[in-house]
Amino acid sequence: MSGFKAVFKRELKSYFTTPIAYVFLVVFLFFSGYLTFKNGFFEIRQADMTAFFVNMPLLFAFLVPATAMRLWAEERKTGSIELLFTLPITVMQAVLGKFFAAWVFLLIALVLTFPMVITVFYLGRPDVGLIITGYLGSILMAGGFLAVGCFFSALSKNQVISFVLSVVACAVLVFAGVPTTMNYLSTFLPAGLVTAVGNMSFETHFESIQKGVLEFRDVSYFLFLIVGWVAACAVVLEERKAG
């Protein structure tokens, strides 16, 4: 546990010792606000945050990999990963320490969107439950994207390659459940397989949570996804360490 805490503190602190974290926060806050108002936040004349949360899957598909790409690629490029693994710490502790530090950083980014909540309450009486589930879904989805990015960061020393691979994988997981994709797949795949592909989509499970329907299958989807990709990341690093 002490190894996990050491890596967690070191990684979280490193985000704020470089301009990267501040650039990410500014870009995230700008586009989350811009897309919300572009989607007709005021025009719908309804005090809710649907217009805000609906942008999260696409926004996270690009911005979360940008956060994750440096997690292991930078360590491997500079050679500091060898030093890290000489310390009395397991690979899984190191992976979890870095993952949770990045997840907390993304949580901070979401917390900084509180002006949107204040705006909604100023305009009317929104459903507090929908806002809570919307943020819960966003946190879980951010963790899912981050786990994917963590895995691809461990695969390559090049941060750009890691970023591109993560974006492609995340985009596939988002667009798998989009109606246009489902309609296209239905032209040559059995209905059962098309449904299975749709159920693998971030969009499908996030929409359900965002609408206030907090079901076990949606929460477990993101948790299993996170556990699976983080475990795969640990396996890759174990092999690198052994090699």
Q: With a cut of 80, say whether residue 111 has pLDDT above it.
A: yes
Pick the range with the lowest mean pLDDT from 10-14, 109-113, 149-153: 10-14
Q: pLDDT tens digit string along 55-65? A: 888 888 888 98
Which residue carries 């979360």 as its tokens?
64
So what's the pLDDT on residue 154? 87
Tens digit of each residue's pLDDT (9 = 90 or more) over 66-104: 888 888 777 777 667 677 777 778 888 888 999 999 999
Confidence at residue 158, expressed as pLDDT on a 0 to 100 scale: 83
Phi/psi of residue 199, each to 5°? Answer: -70, -15
Is pLDDT at 237 greater than 80 in this prediction? yes
Asked whether residue 29 carries a pLDDT value surpassing 80, the answer given is yes
Tokens linked to 59:
């926004």
User: What digits encode the pLDDT tens for the residues 173-223?
Assistant: 888 777 677 676 677 667 777 677 667 778 788 888 888 778 888 899 899
Burial class (CB in 10 A: 0-12, 13-18, 19+), 160: exposed
Q: Which residues contact 50 (CB under 8 A, 6 or more apart)?
A: 44, 130, 210
Name the pTM for this structure: 0.88
Write the pLDDT tens digit of every residue in 112-142.
Answer: 998 888 888 887 787 788 889 989 999 999 9
